[in-house]
Amino acid sequence: MNAVARHLHHDAAPTKPKIGFEGVDVAYPTPEGGRIPVVSEASFAVGKGEFVSIVGPSGCGKSTVLRVLSGLLAHEKGTVRINGRSLEENRERIGFMFQRDTLLPWASVADNIRIGAELANIAHERRDARVAELIGFLRLSGFEKHRPHQLSGGMRQRVALGRLLAFEPHIYLLDEPFGALDAQTKIAMGRELLRVWSEYKRSVIFVTHDIEEAVTLSDRVLVMSPRPGHIVRDIAVDLPRPRDPKQLRKDARFADLVDAIWSELDAGH
């Protein structure tokens, strides 16, 4: 039913995407003054409320795509649009999450989350309530006053997720956010993320090297070529939602999709 509803929604939606990448080139400068092309002729689009993963071999420029979208890195060629606007004119809040938790080590759990609300210009009197709500939502109750070094890796990433949610982003850019976690915590965090996504319905770009994770979470999986990377395949994941990561693993369609993506990657392009 969910899938049907989504299809109808897709048909009714205007063609203007939330995020548009058109023939984008990115290069890094070398110390000797040269340039290393990292991304070449990359094109893709992400619709409003869509969850899209990017997979590809190490160093193919997956993270670079996110860094360009977040404004941390300039592109050389092509056009990047958010809501139809260039990056300079973009007014949307972009929430970024790294593999490392990048919390303020001296600040408490609550303060780390609160800074997201502060940067989103949420009114002073509403911040405490919002922080408390997120701490409950992410099951961090009782840890409000703890510092990051007193928490496990999984909990630290949940605090980082809390800060991201407090920032109320219009777009989520997640750069292997659960890559450093053990398998079990990773699945638990994926479930958490889906819970967040189904509640807020924002556009998500999720970079990962874990293909099963990509299929579990996404509406579409983009496969990138080796460096200089571009998108070689755009694979729709038409598995019904809500999805349970553990049940999904027994589903034949799930296995087929994972196989299909693996063979794309092996093809090497």
Q: Give the footprint of another protein on this chain (CB under 8 A).
A: 70-72, 93-96, 98, 100, 102, 104-107, 115-116, 118-119, 139, 142-143, 146-150, 152, 154-155, 158, 167, 173, 184-185, 188, 192
Q: Cβ 144 to another protein, closest distance in Å? A: 10
Calculate the alpha carbon distances from 9 to 4, 23, 48, 132 in Å: 9, 28, 11, 34
Dihedral angle over CA of 133, 139, 142, 144, nearest 10: -50
The nearest distance, CB 194 to another protein, in angstroms, is 14
Cβ 200 to another protein shortest distance, Å? 17
Nearer to another protein, 164 or 235 (CB): 164
Number of neighbouring beta carbons within 10 Å of residue 104 = 12
Give whichever of 103 and 223 is closer to another protein, judged by the CB atom: 103
Q: State the nearest-atom distance from the C-beta of 149 to another protein, in Å.
A: 3
CA distance 166 to 163: 5
Hey, what amino acid is at 84? G
Choice between 13 and 104, CB closer to another protein: 104
- For the bound state, the minimum distance from the C-beta of residue 28 to another protein, rounded and expressed in Å, comes to 15
Q: What is the largest CA-CA distance in the chain?
A: 57
191 vs 233, beta carbon nearer another protein: 191
Q: Which is nearer to another protein, 28 or 106 (CB)?
A: 106
Q: By C-beta, is 86 or 150 nearer to another protein?
A: 150
Least separation in angstroms between CB 267 and another protein? 33
